């Protein structure tokens, strides 16, 4: 019998533009890209040069500190560009697809970790503390997989899983050979492939966002103390691993949600990691261009709460399971401002009359911050939406102050930037909490290196 964990803290934000349960296939674009910044904590070393022919599964770059950790091409084709920025920082490696999709064959009979390292699947494992790519020399006490995302406009993994149950189970069984696996499932999910999954411990989480965050699940099931570490892997990435185990080939095809109020028909699309967003967004937005007299849109690579701002010329992130498009808000005209009753404006407090419509009402929220940075007032607003046994406000203050001892005492080893997304949304001080936490984790990692 799976354990049910009830979470009362959090906040569900009902945004307009959820993807309907219909899946389309996007044609094979000419160019794909692997972006090192998608794999935090890695110092990339390029192992190919422009003009090289590669197959799906061939390494494009490796980690300088751990060369056995490879980052591989999602398609077969020719390396078209090694893009560098300031101080020769590696921005991306682009591959022009040949349309054949030839894949390198791997031996699946040996050690699972060796197979994952050679095929590039190990790069999708992240570790706590620090929320960085896992170190293959370490041995985690557990591996956590969350089978749902509770953020607004997020992908419905139970729908995506249909037809891929065998691959998902094969991926879980492979991870179980490395460490004990914990699978987090939503109380709303009923698929037997999730609730009766084998070779893992299933825990059911019932509560508002961010209940689907793997960090929240770790905190309630098997917390990370100083000196301990756990690994995490995305649910779709477990399917990648299952395909590899069953076929011996890497296949980074996954189903993402194109959602948001500025999308004409929000739906699911089958794409590959690193695919150019132009092919996904072409003629699918309500305005013809990203900027127009009607106002511009914010294209987000990933979830609306945790993703990164991008353009249609960008490439799908390695861990992204959705692309969200919302109004930028640069042409907003609010007559009389906050004095109006605002029946269509979302508020976490009962400041507007919109609360009378209940939780089922859908809202259109733009990208405006609506204010500048202010002094932190310890009103407990973070703690109301932060379902972890951590004092979020005090931890943020300790990070800003650079007090490492205080950070450790307040539980920084358990958190990742995404865990603060809802707290950042409700923050009246307008602080970039996710950026602050990311910087704090990076500094702490250097200190402990």
Is it the case that residue 354 has pLDDT exceeding 90? no
- Confidence at 345, pLDDT banded by 50, 70, 90: confident
| pLDDT tens readout for residues 101-160 | 999 999 999 999 999 999 999 999 999 999 999 999 999 999 999 999 999 999 999 999
* The pair of three-digit structure tokens given for residue 70, joined into one six-digit string: 């490879």
- Counting residues of the chain whose pLDDT is more than 70, the rounded percentage is 97
CA 350 to chain centre: 31
Residue 293 pLDDT: 47
Question: Measured between alpha carbons, how far apart are the two ends of the chain, in Å?
Answer: 41
| pLDDT tens readout for residues 303-331 | 999 999 999 999 999 999 999 999 998 87
> What CA dihedral angle connects 263, 185, 220 and 236, to 10 degrees?
-60
Asked if the peptide bond before residue 210 counts as cis, ω within 30 degrees of 0, the response is yes
* The pair of three-digit structure tokens given for residue 55, joined into one six-digit string: 């197959």
Asked if residue 204 lies in contact with residue 5, where contact means CB atoms within 8 angstroms, the answer is yes
Is it the case that residue 339 has pLDDT exceeding 80? no
- Confidence at 350, pLDDT banded by 50, 70, 90: confident
| pLDDT tens readout for residues 198-232 | 999 999 999 999 999 999 999 999 999 889 999 99
Return the SS3 of 240: helix
- Confidence at 265, pLDDT banded by 50, 70, 90: very high
Is it the case that residue 302 has pLDDT exceeding 80? yes
| pLDDT tens readout for residues 375-385 | 888 888 999 99
């Amino acid at each position: 019998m799976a354990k049910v964990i009830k979470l009362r803290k959090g906040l569900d934000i009902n945004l307009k533009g959820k993807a309907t349960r219909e899946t389309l296939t996007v044609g094979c674009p000419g160019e794909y890209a692997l972006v090192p910044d998608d794999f935090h904590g890695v110092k990339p070393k390029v192992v190919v040069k422009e003009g090289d022919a590669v197959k799906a599964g061939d390494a494009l770059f490796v980690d300088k500190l751990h060369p056995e950790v490879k980052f591989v091409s999602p398609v077969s084709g020719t390396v078209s560009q090694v893009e560098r920025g300031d101080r020769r920082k590696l921005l991306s490696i682009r591959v022009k697809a040949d349309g054949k999709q030839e894949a390198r064959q791997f031996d699946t009979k040996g050690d699972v970790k060796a197979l994952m390292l050679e095929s590039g699947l190990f790069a999708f494992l992240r570790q706590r503390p620090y929320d960085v790519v896992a170190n293959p020399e370490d041995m985690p006490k557990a591996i956590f997989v969350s089978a749902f995302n509770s953020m607004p406009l997020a992908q419905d993994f139970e729908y995506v899983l249909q037809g891929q149950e065998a691959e998902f189970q094969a991926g879980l069984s492979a991870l179980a050979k490395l460490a004990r696996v914990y699978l987090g499932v939503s109380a709303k999910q009923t698929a037997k492939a999730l609730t009766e999954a084998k070779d893992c411990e299933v825990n059911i989480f019932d509560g508002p966002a961010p209940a689907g965050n793997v960090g929240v699940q770790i905190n309630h099931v098997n917390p990370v103390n100083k000196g301990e570490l756990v690994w995490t892997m995305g649910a779709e990435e477990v399917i990648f691993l299952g395909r590899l185990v069953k076929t011996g080939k890497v296949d980074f095809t996954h189903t993402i949600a194109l959602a948001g109020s500025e999308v004409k028909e929000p739906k699911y699309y089958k794409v590959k990691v690193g695919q150019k967003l132009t092919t996904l967004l072409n003629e699918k937005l309500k305005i013809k261009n990203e900027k127009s007299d009607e106002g511009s849109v914010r294209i987000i690579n990933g979830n609306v709460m945790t993703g990164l701002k991008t353009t249609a010329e960008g490439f799908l992130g390695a861990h992204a399971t959705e692309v969200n498009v919302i109004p930028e808000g640069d042409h907003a005209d609010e007559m009389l401002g906050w004095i109006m009753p605002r029946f269509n404006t979302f508020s976490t407090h009962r400041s507007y009359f919109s609360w009378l419509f209940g939780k089922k009402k859908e809202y259109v929220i733009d990208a405006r911050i609506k204010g500048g940075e202010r002094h932190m007032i310890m009103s407990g607003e973070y703690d109301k939406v932060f379902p972890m046994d951590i004092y979020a406000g005090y931890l943020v203050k300790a990070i800003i102050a650079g007090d490492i001892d205080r950070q450790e005492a307040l539980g920084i080893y358990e958190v990742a930037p995404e865990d603060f997304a809802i707290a950042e949304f409700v923050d009246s001080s307008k602080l970039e909490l996710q950026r602050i936490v990311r910087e704090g984790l990076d500094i702490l990692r250097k200190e402990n290196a």
